[in-house]
């Protein structure tokens, strides 16, 4: 049927999910309108053009079988599942008492939003480049911290790729345990100071380690460079452009937004963010993020395996499933938060999938399974 992309305006190992979470827990420009314009064949439901699976070349029976499997408990604690193809919302289900207007904690999906805001700030000239060092970008902390040679070499690039060399213990220890670096950071009075004082076990760029502390520093650099909190910057240049008006964002001591976690959003708005990246940073007739930033952010800059790697605060994943016509799904960009919060951006299928769940602790990465077993095979 359709083989087109509708431009929506202004809207370790995978076989062991714990190992994936141990590794972990797809250029955006500026301005645009706040609501999508539906293609002529689509109706409008609030802030999204809507369609049906069959209209967008997706087998409705396969999607219905996934819905039944979720309701039967085969996939645990699912709160929402949305599928967008060719720019239209064609499948939208909520579970466990949630609905389209429910704000949901998205945890580390926040990191991908911060990445977008950094890209916008770079494009607008507020940040000079990725090779600027933390030492230079956070001058208020130049005294009081032991800036040895390795620490002074940490650059914004290392923060966004999580290759800073800082020792950070998060996936390995439960939250709430004082040995968990995130828990210890949030108990401190100055999160930036806490992260900057962490020990190092290598030079920046040498190795990858999942580190929410890196995201906190990236958010702090964003706020210092732009002169406003990340939330205010997002309202000006990201949320406003996409028509995202309902959200909450946790603040750290001193008022800084938590750059590593803390966003609460509607799944429909997560889908808008995914669609923005699917459209290479364009929303409607304008740009929100530069195309080069989208490309760079969603490239496998730090490979972990043949199928999984990391970009600039985005995961990069090659699904195993094949379409109904035997094609691979290509490479997906993934925003991923603990508890099974996901945005999957699949350019080769012109598709965005959003799934939220509440698995903590518990089986993680179950959305990777049903993406390959149900959604991709349903696609023609």
84-112 pLDDT per residue, tens: 999 999 999 999 999 999 999 999 999 99
Cα distance between residue 239 and residue 231, in whole Å: 9
Give the chain's mean pLDDT.
Answer: 90
Do residues 264 and 281 touch, judged by C-beta distance below 8 A? no
For the chain, the domain total comes to: 2
Residues 98 and 198 in one domain: no
Residue 60's CATH number: 3.40.710.10
Residue 106 to residue 244: CA distance in whole angstroms: 15
Tell me whether residue 294 is in a domain. Answer: yes
Q: Over 60: is that where the pLDDT of 125 sits?
A: yes
What's the confidence (pLDDT) of residue 35? 41
Asked if the structure places residue 142 within a domain, the reply is yes
For 130-175, the pLDDT digits (tens) are 999 999 999 999 998 999 999 999 999 999 999 999 999 998 898 9
Give the pLDDT of residue 78: 96
Decide if 6 is inside a domain. no
Confidence category of residue 364, pLDDT binned at 50, 70, 90: confident
pLDDT at 45: 87
* Residues 279, 194 share a domain: no
Final residue in a domain of this structure, among 174, 208, 225:
225
Domain-located, residue 251: no
Question: Residue 245: inside a domain, yes or no?
Answer: no
Residue 236: pLDDT above 60? yes
**pLDDT confidence of residue 46:** 86
Q: What value does the mean pLDDT take over residues 280-284?
A: 96
Same-domain pairing of 99 and 140: no
CATH number for position 189:
1.20.58.710
129-134 LR contacts (CB < 8 Å, sep 24+): 129/156, 130/155, 130/156, 130/157, 130/160, 131/155, 131/156, 131/157, 132/156, 134/159, 134/196, 134/217, 134/221
pLDDT at residue number 30: 29
- Assess whether 90 and 130 both reside in one domain: no
Report if residue 193 sits inside a domain: yes
Q: Do 267 and 361 sit in the same domain of this protein?
A: yes
Same domain, 169 and 122: yes
- 128 in the same domain as 83: no
On whether residue 239 sits in a domain, the answer given is no
CA dist., res. 376 & res. 106, Å (int): 24
3-state secondary structure of 299: coil
Pair (123, 213) in one structural domain: yes
Full domain range(s) for residue 135: 113-225
Distance CA(228)–CA(57), nearest Å, equals 44
Same domain for 140 and 105, yes or no, is no
Domain match, 137 and 199 both: yes
Structure tokens at 97: 């008492």
Q: Among residues 164, 195, 225, which one ends one of the domains?
A: 225
Whether 159 and 202 share a structural domain: yes
- Is residue 247, in this structure, part of any structural domain at all? no
Query: Of 196, 225, 254, which one is at a domain's C-terminal end?
Result: 225
pTM: 0.90
pLDDT at 363: 59
- 81 & 149 share domain: no
């Amino acid at each position: 049927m359709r083989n087109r992309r509708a431009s929506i305006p202004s809207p370790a190992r995978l076989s062991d999910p714990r190992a994936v979470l141990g590794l972990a827990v797809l250029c955006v420009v500026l301005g645009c309108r706040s609501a999508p314009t539906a293609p002529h064949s689509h109706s409008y439901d609030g802030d999204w053009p809507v369609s049906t699976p069959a209209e967008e070349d997706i087998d409705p029976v396969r999607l219905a079988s996934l819905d039944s499997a979720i309701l039967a408990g085969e996939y645990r604690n699912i709160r929402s599942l949305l599928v967008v193809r060719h720019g239209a919302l064609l499948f939208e289900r909520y579970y466990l008492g949630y609905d389209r207007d429910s704000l949901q904690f998205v945890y580390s999906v926040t990191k991908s939003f911060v990445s977008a805001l950094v890209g916008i700030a770079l494009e607008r000239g507020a940040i000079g480049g990725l090779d600027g060092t933390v030492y230079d970008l956070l001058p208020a902390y130049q005294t009081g911290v032991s800036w040895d040679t390795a620490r002074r070499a940490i650059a914004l690039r290392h923060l966004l790729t999580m290759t800073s060399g800082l020792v950070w213990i998060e996936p390995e220890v439960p939250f709430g345990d004082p040995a968990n670096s995130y828990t210890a950071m949030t108990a401190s009075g100055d999160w930036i100071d806490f992260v900057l004082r962490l020990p190092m076990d290598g030079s920046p760029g040498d190795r990858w380690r999942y580190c929410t502390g890196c995201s906190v520093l990236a958010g702090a650099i964003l706020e210092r460079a732009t002169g406003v909190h990340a939330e205010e910057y997002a309202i000006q240049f990201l949320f406003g452009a996409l028509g995202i008006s309902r959200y909450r964002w946790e603040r750290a001591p001193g008022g800084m937004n938590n750059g590593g976690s803390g966003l609460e959003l509607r799944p429909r708005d997560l889908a808008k963010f995914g669609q923005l990246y699917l459209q290479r940073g364009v929303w409607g007739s304008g740009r929100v993020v530069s195309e080069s930033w989208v490309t760079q952010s969603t490239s496998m800059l730090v490979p972990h395996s043949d199928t999984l790697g990391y970009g600039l605060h985005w995961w990069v994943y090659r699904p195993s499933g094949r379409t109904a016509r035997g094609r691979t799904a290509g490479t997906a960009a993934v925003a991923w938060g603990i508890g099974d919060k996901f945005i999957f951006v699949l350019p080769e299928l012109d598709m965005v999938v959003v799934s939220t769940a509440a698995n903590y602790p518990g089986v993680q990465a179950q959305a990777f399974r049903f993406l390959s077993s149900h959604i991709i095979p349903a696609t023609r």
